[in-house]
């Protein structure tokens, strides 16, 4: 497929467990972003990768959140010791460059922490 792919599409986990969310960006896109959308809220920036540069982690809400991007392609967002307030839709996006280039989003992973 030509679009951004995210897995799983849905994840239900118990409070305190760790989760990993995966993103496959569009081939050739150098920039990759993670956002989340909580119920009734807008899109909240989490983290941004551009090529081999150090990621912009300024949006990560706590040190329980981390992300990596291997080989400049696939990215994994990890949430440790999940809390109920982590419940949200986690959206990954990629863009051709980081300047004046539209982001293309995946369909997201809906995370529910019980």
Partner 1 sequence: DQQVKQNSPSLSVQEGRISILNCDYTNSMFDYFLWYKKYPAEGPTFLISISSIKDKNEDGRFTVFLNKSAKHLSLHIVPSQPGDSAVYFCAVQGAQKLVFGQGTRLTINP
Site residues (vs partner 1, CB under 8 A): 4, 31, 33, 35, 41-43, 45, 48, 50, 56, 59, 91, 93, 98-100, 102-108
Rg from Cα positions in the chain: 13
Q: How far apart are CA 60 and CA 12, in angstroms?
A: 21
CB of 80 to partner 1, least distance (A): 24
Check: CB of residue 17 under 8 Å from CB of residue 84.
no
Q: Residue 20 or 44: which CB sits closer to partner 1?
A: 44
Helix (H, G, I), strand (E, B) or coil at 84: helix
CB of 100 to partner 1, least distance (A): 5
């Amino acid at each position: 497929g030509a679009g951004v792919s995210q897995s799983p599409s849905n994840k239900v986990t118990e409070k305190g467990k760790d989760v990993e969310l995966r993103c496959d960006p569009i081939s050739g896109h150098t920039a990759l972003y993670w956002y989340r959308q909580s119920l009734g809220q807008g899109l909240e920036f989490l983290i941004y990768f551009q090529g081999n540069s150090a990621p912009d982690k300024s949006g990560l809400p706590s040190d329980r959140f981390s992300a990596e991007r291997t080989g400049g392609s696939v990215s994994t967002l990890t949430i440790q010791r999940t809390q109920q307030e982590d419940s949200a839709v986690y959206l990954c996006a990629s863009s051709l460059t980081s300047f004046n280039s539209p982001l293309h989003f995946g369909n997201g992973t809906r995370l529910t922490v019980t």
